[in-house]
Structure 1
């Protein structure tokens, strides 16, 4: 079994014992793939031809290989340039059928469009690439259009053409394609089909304005994609961090672009606990934010919450002064116990009508006199 994380130096050692496995491995260094591509072992050359990380220059060499099996593997490699695929390999009688059936839908073990695609490739063998692609797009069937829409090097005019398609899978493939023009992504973002809009949200080239438009979408899968984007406006990201969906909220809360002031507002709201579970070291890294949150909770309508907050040393002097005059004896007690309470506040509280408050204040005043 291939281990994707195997480091290149380990692969070089393994190549001496099991070269075919190394030839298929995604981490195999280009220089080793080049060496294998010249091997007398046909199956080793096949493994290189199949490897998705094989450089184009090596694929171009293997497209001339004496073995039709090797050439067929090159035709199936998604990195093989579209010009090499349709202008050279498609002229190869032993390879063209593999290309045709790969572009055809498989229904009950049959390839209904395979023969017509094969005919197009044969008839247009000397035509320009543009002509071949146009015929495949128009006459090859939905499977052929889907195959082309997924191609990394399909010309932009064909991507724009497919973006107008009524075939949902084709539109989804265009929305996922990294070379799709921005104007097409903007149009596809308006699609009534969720899968298409989700694909637009995933595409790293989708402009911010379109992402922010999609952030208003009602579909949770789309919002999940948007919440992970680091180029959103702070306002949109904060809104997603308050989503009713736990998963959307989590992605937004883990987004490194979520601004600090937005986090402080979260810490003062209903999802404070959720945020701190996801980011347990935030307050230790931002003690000033802890002060903001404590000052908020010190004003809570729940006496126990305000009591706990007012006991913390990060509470501001202004709030300690304000709460020393509170009608709640529990809040005044917390002020009297706070290590940052000034001598002036303690002298005032030492005269308090509540016995516990007076005792706490007098005890702290003794510490002042002894220090």
Structure 2
């Protein structure tokens, strides 16, 4: 019978009146399914917000049908995963999300509610005195130029790092980021599609070495031979750099005897490998 109930609760055609009582069922698996259902009375969601199982509360927290009052309750939940699920809810009010910003884990993808924010909401959030809130906005890749450029000069390194890969930033902005924050933003600057070859060269020579930056440089279309040679000093970047067409032929030929088979494969597939070296690979 449990399996039948489980299947029925997952069926969107099952009437709300038949689903609601299962919010108090002994089975956590059944309550879990109810927590994900849209269109239930607010009283049902309020009962589930007090469920003893964190997973039930977490799924409830991500349910776009849940009202503000329940989301407020879940935003103060003792379980961190529940709070993070509230932040991922596309319907979470921005003032609730702002309160949660400091507890969010790092990530490159903007939260659904941030991605859907209106221009006025985006501007207001971008001016927040809290770096964690500005960081949430800085992850967007469709920011107006004035907000993007303001984030480029933000005093908080995490905000700068979040916006550093944003298309459209000038060479001056990118160089200034590195000058102020160094290795903390180096990898993100190296990943910017508009970063110049000269700046990639500077990044490659950064001291102390920024390993994550080398890995980004190794796959950047604008990287030149000098920067790629430095990338070969990093085990992971080396595998990518070996496949970059800007690597000089003599170096590519030497990489065919590398101890790392992934480096050898990348070099063998490199279109810049000399013809004679290619011919030698084929019996």
TM-score, normalising length from structure 2?
Answer: 0.52
Asked if residue 232 in structure 1 is aligned to residue 195 in structure 2, the reply is yes
CA distance in 1, matches of 2:132, 2:199: 29
Asked if residue 77 in structure 1 is aligned to residue 33 in structure 2, the reply is no
Give 1:235 deviation, angstroms. 2.2
Q: Structure 1 residues 266 and 44, CA, compared in 2 at 3 Å: closer, same or farther?
A: same
Contact (CA 8 Å) 1:283, 1:290: kept in 2 or not?
no
Deviations 1:219-262 (A, max 9, x none): 31211222233442222223212222241452244224244xx2
CA distance in 2, matches of 1:292, 1:246: 24
Give 1:192 deviation, angstroms. 1.1
Structure 1 alignment gaps of length 5 or more: 1-16, 24-33, 51-61, 91-95, 107-128, 295-313, 315-371
Give 1:278 deviation, angstroms. 0.7
Out of 227, 230, 233, the residue aligned to residue 274 of structure 1 is 233
Out of 56, 59, 69, the residue aligned to residue 97 of structure 1 is 69
Alignment of 1:297-308 (within 5 A): none
Q: How many residues align?
A: 208
Q: Structure 1 residues 249 and 103, CA, compared in 2 at 3 Å: closer, same or farther?
A: closer
Asked if residue 207 in structure 1 is aligned to residue 168 in structure 2, the reply is yes
Q: Structure 1 residues 258 and 217, CA, compared in 2 at 3 Å: closer, same or farther?
A: farther
CA distance in 2, matches of 1:253, 1:77: 37
- The equivalent of 2:40 in structure 1 is 65
Give 1:282 deviation, angstroms. 3.3
Q: Structure 1 residues 99 and 217, CA, compared in 2 at 3 Å: closer, same or farther?
A: same
Q: Structure 1 residues 47 and 290, CA, compared in 2 at 3 Å: closer, same or farther?
A: farther
Contact (CA 8 Å) 1:168, 1:196: kept in 2 or not?
yes
- The equivalent of 1:190 in structure 2 is 153
Q: Which consecutive segments of 4 or more residues in structure 1 shift more than 6 A? A: 70-75, 144-147, 283-287, 291-294
Larger Rg: 1
CA RMSD of aligned residues (A): 5.0
- The equivalent of 2:52 in structure 1 is none
Q: Structure 1 residues 219 and 68, CA, compared in 2 at 3 Å: closer, same or farther?
A: farther
Contact (CA 8 Å) 1:171, 1:196: kept in 2 or not?
yes
Contact (CA 8 Å) 1:36, 1:45: kept in 2 or not?
no
CA distance in 1, matches of 2:140, 2:116: 9
Structure 2 alignment gaps of length 5 or more: 23-28, 50-56, 79-90, 104-109, 255-273, 275-283
Q: Structure 1 residues 198 and 105, CA, compared in 2 at 3 Å: closer, same or farther?
A: farther
CA distance in 2, matches of 1:227, 1:192: 20
Q: Structure 1 residues 65 and 266, CA, compared in 2 at 3 Å: closer, same or farther?
A: closer
SS in 1 for 2:164: helix
TM-score, normalising length from structure 1?
Answer: 0.42
Deviations 1:269-318 (A, max 9, x none): xx375169814883997896318999xxxxxxxxxxxxxxxxxxx9xxxx
- Larger relative contact order (CA 8 Å, sep ≥ 6): 2
- The equivalent of 1:243 in structure 2 is 206
Asked if residue 263 in structure 1 is aligned to residue 225 in structure 2, the reply is yes
Deviations 1:79-137 (A, max 9, x none): x3xxxx6xxx53xxxxx43222345597xxxxxxxxxxxxxxxxxxxxxx9xxx6xx75
